[in-house]
Structure 1
Amino acid sequence: MSSNGNRYNSEFKADAVRLVTKEGRSVRSVAKDLGISDQAVRNWINKDNRKHDPEKSRIDELKEKQKRIDDLEDSVDILKKAAALFVQDNRK
């Protein structure tokens, strides 16, 4: 199985999104009829929404960057504590 996200062409994805957003079908029924996962359809819908709403896309991007910053700050704190332990061990 391909992991690059190109398993289905853009027309197939657009049709799946259209069935949910324009025709009012449920994500589950569309996914079942097309033989794909519910999450794949949800991902395509979210991507389509971001494409049409650049503000939401920007907000999502900022949230992702803030999460990355928080993770990096946690890593720095752990490294500072580890460095302090090494200094203490070397002094003994």
Structure 2
Amino acid sequence: MGKPNFSEDFKRDAVHQIAVRGYAVREVSERLGVSTYSLYKWMKLYAKAASQASSVDHEAENRRLKRELARMTEGRDILKKAAAYFAKDAR
């Protein structure tokens, strides 16, 4: 039986689980059926690229969340004004 030939995408995804998502090397090793030696070797090759991609993902997510927060804050302010208007009208 020869040794398995894993694709570059598989290796990057495995490293991503460790470097970005924070899973333990042993856990990823057991789940994927890859030796810890291979994972550490792949981390040397791909960890820097994975963390850079992660920072780009985080920046995009931060921008999206800021837009959503602004929209929700605006909606809340409109509801406050409406409630104050109707409370004043009810007196």
TM score, norm. by length of structure 1: 0.46
Give 1 or 2 for the bigger CA radius of gyration.
Answer: 2
